[in-house]
Amino acid sequence: MEMPDTKPLSGREYSAMLSLFAAVSHYAELYPMLNRRAEMVPGTSEMMKTVQGETEEVIDRLLGTIPQNKLLQMKADLKNVRLYIKVEPPGCVSTVDMTSYSYVPTKSLNQLLAHVIEHECMLCDKTPTEARKCPYRSMIEKALVHDADVKDTDHCKYSDLALGIEMNMEGDAV
């Protein structure tokens, strides 16, 4: 294999190289812990080993494009690079903005929606224009995974939705 040309690194490239090296190193640390599980599926252990080998080769090739003086500094830095991944438990929200999500079982969500719609929306006589300001409407729209089947265009689209969510004998939404 011929030697690649070298080129000075920008700060962003340097940071990206360190991050990529950390990810590849972390994968190498995880491989032994997951190998026994991977052996349960034919070909998966070999595939994981191939991924590890290929990503290490990519790192080696990329390091070959870095000028020698910078490479010595980077190799010293690479010894201290670690990747940390924080996994939050389901249901925890890290921020208060509306882009955060939590996971709720569909059955529980349907029960809650049925209760809100039954007690707040069923007898609602707001027009569609008035209903746009309703706090329940925006919560329901965000929580429903499907569009409401609108039959009455003179009132809020959720005013008769309670008929579509039936309850079984134990009070579970079906």
Is the pLDDT at 43 greater than 70? The verdict is yes
Most distant pair of Cα atoms in the chain: their distance = 77
User: Would you state the pLDDT for residue 54?
Assistant: 94
CB 136 within 8 A of CB 121: yes
> Considering the domain boundaries, does residue 146 fall inside one?
yes
Residue 59 and residue 114 in one domain: no
Residue 62 and residue 119 in one domain: no
Instruction: Enumerate residues 6+ apart whose C-beta is below 8 A from 119.
Output: none
* Single residue among 62, 78, 94 that ends a domain in this structure: 78
Residue 66 and residue 120 in one domain: no
CB 89 within 8 A of CB 31: no
Alpha-carbon gap, residue 70 to 59, rounded angstroms: 15
> Considering the domain boundaries, does residue 169 fall inside one?
no
Q: What's the one-letter identity of residue 117?
A: I
Is the pLDDT at 166 greater than 70? The verdict is no
Number of structural domains (the chain) is 2
- The domain of 56 spans 11-78
Per the model's pLDDT, the better-predicted residue between 36 and 115 turns out to be 36
Is the pLDDT at 27 greater than 50? The verdict is yes
> Considering the domain boundaries, does residue 85 fall inside one?
no
What's the DSSP call for residue 137? H
CB 38 within 8 A of CB 45: yes
Asked whether the whole model's pTM tops 0.85, one would answer: no
CB 102 within 8 A of CB 142: no
CB 22 within 8 A of CB 74: no
pLDDT classification of 173: cutoffs 50, 70, 90: very low
> Considering the domain boundaries, does residue 93 fall inside one?
no
Residue 21 and residue 67 in one domain: yes
Per the model's pLDDT, the better-predicted residue between 95 and 32 turns out to be 32
Residue 70 and residue 111 in one domain: no
Residue 74 and residue 16 in one domain: yes
Residue 34 and residue 72 in one domain: yes
Alpha-carbon gap, residue 139 to 141, rounded angstroms: 5
Residue 25 and residue 74 in one domain: yes
Rg (CA), the chain: 28
User: Would you state the pLDDT for residue 3?
Assistant: 66
Of 34, 14, 15, 36, nearest to 26 by C-alpha is 34
Rounded mean pLDDT, 59-84: 84
φ, ψ for residue 171, nearest 5 deg: 85, 10
